[in-house]
Chain A
Amino acid sequence: MLILKIPSVAAELVIERGDASGLRCENVFLPNECSPLNFSSSNVERLKSGLEEYVLKHRNSLNNKCDSCFCSREKLKISSGVASSMESHRSPGLIVEAVIAISELSESLCFRSSGNKTEVLHFKDFSPSSVSIASLNALTSIDWRSYGLTLVSAVDQVDHALIEWESLPPYLHIDMVIHCYHKQYPGKYKYQPDRHLIKKGVKLALDDLKEKHTGLLLSAHAVKICSYAPDLASSIAGIILSSNDLKFRSKCSTLLELSQSQAIGKQTVEDRIKEKIISVIETNDRKPEKIKEAAPFLFEDDRPQDLDPADLYLEEHAGGDNVFSFPD
């Protein structure tokens, strides 16, 4: 309930004193502390704020945010996704909100690592709910590898789903919350949780996280390619620095945004090239598959270029021309 941060919910505390006078003390208070949320904040903003506090307080085991673990804003990255069903859908008016929080924590005294696991909290119609089959199916059907994650299992633990990841970095922790409701709430409306909608909501949250934070949730493919960046950068830097052509070296410095005035060492040039290559890989990893275009060629030729579709074998295959490709 605290995570949902529903406005204008007050809690009434009544203490019955078991003495003869039958006195009762009543106290009404608002459970929400002073928060940056307006009354008009959307549900998903509230959910986001709620999860953020939940994580900052080590899953509500503390009264206040843990300053030693979360000494800077960068330690916690949070994003959200909202999916709603169309009018033409068999259950129109359904809304799924997903919020994901990623904490990057180094060794800390108070934080007890929960290893490679994530508790996915579930809410339905503004109340805590059990985990639906639809939700479990949605979670297992997401292509986590495109976010650099490998799902081992997702199991129903009654009040939350427990996801186990394969080899998450030790300092990284993921928290997640999913809230399904009908837009007519609190009007009575019966519906079944929708697997596709839940999947869409979670993916939107993941994409939002990736979009806002460079280098986060890189796909396994991108991580692999990035590992080659130092070697590529080294080769190109090697060519630049072994050239005696000052104009060429100067142009390269300009393109790399390096100072022209002083003599620049190979390591500096190499590091700059490496940074740029990794940045491009990370940026392009965020683009949806369908938008990714073929990279431009190194040399433009004015003849129509004919990409050979049969050229899928690049490293070890000799094609059919063995006779004509003996080493010379």
Chain B
Amino acid sequence: MDDLSKSSMKFFSDQQLCFADILLPHEVQARIQVAVLNFLKILSFPDPAISDLPLINRKSSNSRVSEGILTDVSWIFLSHSFCSRSLMKANATKAFIRVWKVMEMCFEFLTQEKRVTQRELFYKLLCDSPHYFSSQLQVNRTIQDVVALLRCSRYSLGIMASSKGLVAGRILLQEPNQEAVDCSACGSSGYAISGDLNLLESLIMKTDARYIVVVEKHAIFQRLAEDHVFNQIPSILLTAKGYPDIATRFLLHRMSRAFPDLPILALVDWNPAGLAILSTYKFGSIGMGLEAYRYACNVKWLGLRGDDLQLIPQQSLAPLKPRDLQIARSLISSTTLQDNYRQELAVMMQSGQRAEIEALYFNGYDYLGKYLAKKIVQANYI
């Protein structure tokens, strides 16, 4: 009975879903205009007030998990709990004004039909309003506030994702009206994944690969690409050079839909940050919870895992840092983590140690390719 009620609840989880719409520029501008009109109306009421900004809460307390019924993809999404930004709250006034300033700037860009990166936006805001914006992180958070207020995707606001990711291997990518790019001939630098989601949406993809390998680190990606590992085991290599950005997730998701038979395998360091990166590809994130849920993929953990530690020398293990422990605590409290991942995390915490993929080079520079091939062939992934 318990299982039955649980499964029936899964049908209703979508009602709790709060999401950011993907909108056209004029639709986003319409929402911003509604915000202005409502603000002015409330300012002119007989009992006037300065309205608060209701933002969808981007905290774990407002996150839910949707467990796929017919598929094996789960994702994190945000529900309808709000927090508010208010002009009148001491120490919060600037945060309130920052939201309006970003809305103003996005509105202008949308009118001019321009697209900007977060970095460009940061510099523009720094020049226009230096008293309000002092760091990239602050700008990024304010952008997420605007996403949470207007409930439209960041890309709809005219803000391009960063162009961080790379692809290499047995896939042909063709932009409209361009020549197809053979990613197996791109060298160790690979094909750069654009931050323009519309462009990524329009890519024509062809592959004869049997696997997709998502690699945490750029250096490992380069080593694998240089050694043409994707020819030994027909595969596609993908990296976001660390924590995955939306564009890389977007493209991976497109690949998973276009080529559903290709298992997606992750190669990350053996530490909480590596597992966090894997989790983000797998479930999405709370920070961008209004949109990231769309790009969750069924990613499996190839390595490094606890049973690989026998392949590396003892001296290559390093102690866990405070940041690792912070990430681990955050992962443990997450409801999405499956049991076998929890066990791996527990082993990490108990040992108090971490290991990097590079430790495998102890066995020779070509060992990495062999390791990968062996694990894939043995289907040694969880």
Contact = CB atoms under 8 A, between A and B. Distances in A.
A240 B36 contact: yes
B266 to A, nearest CB: 16
Contact of A327 (B100, B137, B326, B329): B137
A108 interface: no
A225 B88 contact: yes
A176 to B, nearest CB: 29
A239 B33 contact: yes
A324 to B, nearest CB: 4
Given A235-B97, A323-B330, A314 B89 contact: yes
A240 B33 CA distance: 8
A232 B87 CA distance: 9
B48 A328 contact: no
A225 B86 CA distance: 11
B107 A295 contact: no
Contact of A297 (B54, B91, B93, B129): B54
A87 interface: no
Contacts, number: 195
Interface in A306-328: 306-308, 310-311, 314-315, 319-328
A88 interface: no
Interface stretch (A7-15, A126-134, A242-250): A242-250
B40 A256 contact: yes
B53 interface: yes
A44 B283 CA distance: 72
Interface residues of B, number: 80
A323 B276 CA distance: 7
Given A296-B49, A319-B59, A321-B59, A308 B82 contact: yes
Contacts of A323: 273, 276, 326-327, 330-331
A141 interface: no
Interface of A: 221, 224-225, 228, 231-232, 235-236, 238-240, 242-245, 248, 251-252, 255-256, 273, 276-277, 279-281, 283-284, 294-299, 301, 303, 305-308, 310-311, 314-315, 319-328
25 contacts: A225-B87, A225-B88, A231-B101, A232-B100, A235-B103, A236-B36, A238-B107, A243-B33, A243-B107, A273-B43, A280-B43, A280-B49, A280-B50, A296-B52, A297-B84, A298-B52, A301-B80, A308-B83, A314-B92, A320-B330, A321-B59, A321-B330, A323-B326, A326-B287, A327-B137
Interface of B: 29, 32-44, 48-54, 57-62, 80-97, 100-101, 103-104, 107-108, 111, 118, 129, 131-132, 136-137, 140-141, 149, 161-162, 243, 245-246, 273, 276, 280, 285-289, 326-327, 329-331, 333
